[in-house]
Amino acid sequence: MIYLDYAATTPMMDVSIEAYSLAAKSVYGNTSSLHDAGGQAAFLLENARDVVANKLGVNRDGIIFTGSGTEGNILAIISLARAGKGKHIITSSAEHTSVHAAINTLEREGYEITKLPLTKRGIVDVSMLEQSIRPDTVLITIQHVNSEIGSIQPVKEIAEVAQKYNISYHVDCVQSFCKLDVTEFSKFVDGITVSAHKIGGPKGCGAVYLNPRRRILPLFPGVTHERGLRGGTVDTPAVFAFAKSVEHYQYDFNKFWSLRNQLKESIKDTNCYFIEADEAHQLPSICGLCMKGAEGQYVMLRLNEEGICISTGSACDINSASGTKAILAMGHSLSEARTFFRISFGMDTTEEHIYRLSKALVNLDQDVKK
């Protein structure tokens, strides 16, 4: 099997599996318990909090461990919005499903939402964003890297606009954490979401940074764990393994650009084409493509028969009948969006994998043309 769906999830690294196993066997106390077993668990938890905070370049007091990136997005967006005084939120049409879920919840509570489109290169227009700000704008939530096409949003510039108008800004960094340097903007935003399983850590574990200087309203007042912002006994083994992933995960830009260019060159004579940003705004390991004359789901199923795992977009949108959000937000038609599929590389991806993928795509393209 050739796995090329790393943007959906990644295999756990050995060091993270070992860390999880060690903590599960030996450090099983509740982090809130006052006895020694609880103290041992609390020590691991707080050490992991330091690791994540240092990688993000933020105050450790703002790190809250969650059960996923989805939970982190929902917790951050709703908490930040409800703590503000306005009723207007700015986001993009291409955010992760969890962001739209949080936005939809707030819309039912009377919030007005501005959803910005993407440019033809998959980027939010910062000037359009600034023009969308109103006196009652309470929150901006724009992702760092799009999970479908890998476009890198100008979050530093957006953060500067948010600061200019004293508006809370939340950034979904699930796809960019440990791959891009987030410290250039992290101190200027009020919420950041990350996830463990995108970087070789365990599923069911993530974290959210909420700026301690901002007033935060908990989704469920009265819970006691994680500064009262997230209830439930903390999964210490998962958090410990997450921290090990943060410490050991490596993203090889040169390797992924080389693999991306190899794929481009190999399929240049087919009806496949890339949906992408300019190089300065593109994460190389996420490749969004379309194949004229074939639906993305058909491409995915045919490649699966060849033992090659890809996707038709975000795994969280697998049941959507409307194509992917990113390509639609860029102004492409629904029929074109239905031809979209995504290939994403990881640490174990090789040139041989890309060769076999390219060969399968060329053969499939020939079948479609018949």
CATH number at residue 23: 3.40.640.10
Instruction: Give the pLDDT of the chain (370 residues) as one tens digit per residue.
Output: 999 999 999 999 999 999 999 999 998 887 877 888 788 888 999 999 999 999 999 999 999 999 999 999 999 999 999 998 999 999 999 999 999 999 999 999 999 999 999 999 999 999 999 999 999 999 999 999 999 999 999 999 999 999 999 999 999 999 999 999 999 999 999 999 999 999 999 999 999 999 988 877 777 776 766 675 676 778 999 999 999 999 999 999 999 999 999 999 999 999 999 999 999 999 999 999 999 999 999 999 999 999 999 998 654 554 454 458 999 999 999 999 999 999 999 999 999 999 999 999 999 999 888 7
Same domain for 346 and 254, yes or no, is yes
Is residue 16 within 8 A of residue 245, CB to CB? The reply is yes
User: At 336, which CATH number?
Assistant: 3.90.1150.10
Rounded CA separation 105/87 (Å): 13
Is residue 357 within 8 A of residue 260, CB to CB? The reply is no
Domain of residue 209 covers 14-248
Query: What's the structural domain count of the chain?
Result: 2
Tell which of 189, 213, 248 closes a domain.
248
Catalytic residues: 316
Same domain for 156 and 47, yes or no, is yes
